[in-house]
Amino acid sequence: MADVEEKTCEIEKQTTDNSQTNCVAESKENEKQDVNENEVVDGENSTDAPKKKKKKKKKKKTDENADEANVDGETKTDDVEKITDKLEQQNLDGETADGGGDQASGEGTKKKKKKKKNKGPKQQTDPPSLPISDRTAKDRFSSEEKRAETLEGTARKLINEKGLEAGLAFPTGCSLNHCAAHYTPNAGDPTVLQYDDVCKIDFGTHINGHIIDCAFTVAFNPKYDKLLQAVKDATNTGIREAGIDVRLCDVGEAIQEVMESYEVELDGKTYQVKSIRNLNGHSIGPYRIHAGKTVPIVKGGEATRMEELEFYAIETFGSTGKGMVHDDMETSHYMKNFEVGHVPLRVQKSKQLLNCINQNFSTLAFCRRWLDRLGQTKYLMALKNLCDVGIIDPYPPLCDIKGCYTAQFEHTILLRPTCKEVLSRGEDY
Ligand SMILES: [Co+2]
Q: What is the mean pLDDT of residues 193-213?
A: 96
**With 50 as the cut, is the pLDDT of residue 114 above it?**
no
**With 70 as the cut, is the pLDDT of residue 418 above it?**
yes
**Confidence grade of residue 211 (pLDDT, cut at 50, 70, 90):** very high
Distance between CA atoms of 262 and 260, rounded to whole angstroms?
5
Asked whether the beta carbons of 27 and 421 are under 8 A apart, the reply is: yes
Nearest 5°: the CA angle 34, 36, 38 is 90
Percent of the chain with pLDDT over 70: 68
Residue 326, beta-bridge partner list: 399
Give me the torsion for CA of 180, 380, 194, 4, rounded to 10°: 0
CA 204 to centroid of ligand 1, rounded, Å: 8
DSSP H helical ranges for 117-224: 151-158
DSSP state of 294: E
Q: For residue 288, give every residue at least 6 positions away whose Cβ sits within 8 Å of its Cβ, in sequence order, or none.
A: 12, 209, 211, 338, 363
Q: What is the pLDDT at residue 91?
A: 37
**With 60 as the cut, is the pLDDT of residue 14 above it?**
no
Give me the torsion for CA of 61, 66, 67, 71, rounded to 10°: 160
CA 116 to centroid of ligand 1, rounded, Å: 39
Q: Is 138 helix (H, G, I), strand (E, B) or coil?
A: coil
Distance between CA atoms of 284 and 258, rounded to whole angstroms?
25
What count of other Cβ atoms lies within 10 Å of the Cβ of residue 119?
12
Q: What is the pLDDT at residue 77?
A: 41
**With 50 as the cut, is the pLDDT of residue 159 above it?**
yes
- The residue that leads in pLDDT, 192 or 323, is 323
Q: Is 40 helix (H, G, I), strand (E, B) or coil?
A: helix
- Using CB atoms within 10 Å of the CB of residue 373, give its burial: 0 to 12 exposed, 13 to 18 middle, 19+ buried: buried
Q: What is the mean pLDDT of residues 235-249?
A: 98
**With 90 as the cut, is the pLDDT of residue 72 above it?**
no
Look at the chain and count its residues.
429
Q: What is the pLDDT at residue 367?
A: 96
Side by side, which strands form the sheet with 333-336? 366-367, 333-336, 392-395
Known binder of ligand: residue 411? no
Known binder of ligand: residue 63? no
DSSP H helical ranges for 248-375: 248-259, 348-360, 368-373
Q: What is the mean pLDDT of residues 238-262?
A: 98
Q: Can you spell out the DSSP letters for 314-345?
A: EEEEEESS-S--EE-S---EEEE-TT------
Known binder of ligand: residue 315? yes
CA 223 to centroid of ligand 1, rounded, Å: 26
Known binder of ligand: residue 182? yes
Cis peptide before 171 (omega within 30 of 0): no
CA 113 to centroid of ligand 1, rounded, Å: 37
**With 60 as the cut, is the pLDDT of residue 70 above it?**
no
Known binder of ligand: residue 206? no
Q: Is 410 helix (H, G, I), strand (E, B) or coil?
A: strand
Catalytic residues: 202, 213, 282, 290, 315, 410
Q: What is the pLDDT at residue 122?
A: 64
Q: What is the mean pLDDT of residues 36-42?
A: 38
CA 314 to centroid of ligand 1, rounded, Å: 7
Cis peptide before 296 (omega within 30 of 0): no
CA 62 to centroid of ligand 1, rounded, Å: 31
**With 90 as the cut, is the pLDDT of residue 219 above it?**
yes
What is the pTM assigned to this prediction?
A: 0.69
Supply the mean pLDDT for the chain.
78
| 210 backbone dihedrals φ, ψ, rounded to 5° | -85, 105
pLDDT tens per residue, range 119-141? 455 666 777 776 766 544 444 33
Known binder of ligand: residue 410? yes
CA nearest 204: which of 196, 213, 195?
Answer: 213
Q: Is 4 helix (H, G, I), strand (E, B) or coil?
A: strand
pLDDT tens per residue, range 359-396? 999 999 999 999 999 999 999 999 999 999 999 999 99
CA 37 to centroid of ligand 1, rounded, Å: 25
Asked whether the beta carbons of 164 and 212 are under 8 A apart, the reply is: no
**With 70 as the cut, is the pLDDT of residue 223 above it?**
yes
Q: What is the pLDDT at residue 324?
A: 98
| Pairing, β 392-395 against β 333-336 | antiparallel
Distance between CA atoms of 1 and 235, rounded to whole angstroms?
14
- Convert 153-165 to b/e letters by CB count within 10 Å (16 or more is b): bbbbbbbebeebe
Q: What is the pLDDT at residue 6?
A: 56
- The residue that leads in pLDDT, 31 or 249, is 249
Q: What is the mean pLDDT of residues 242-261?
A: 98
CA 411 to centroid of ligand 1, rounded, Å: 8
Q: What is the pLDDT at residue 150?
A: 73
What is the CB-side half-sphere exposure of residue 92 using CA atoms within 13 A? 13
CA 305 to centroid of ligand 1, rounded, Å: 19
- The residue that leads in pLDDT, 82 or 331, is 331
CA nearest 216: which of 151, 164, 287?
Answer: 151
Percent of the chain with pLDDT over 90: 59
Q: What is the pLDDT at residue 107?
A: 40
Q: What is the mean pLDDT of residues 318-329?
A: 98
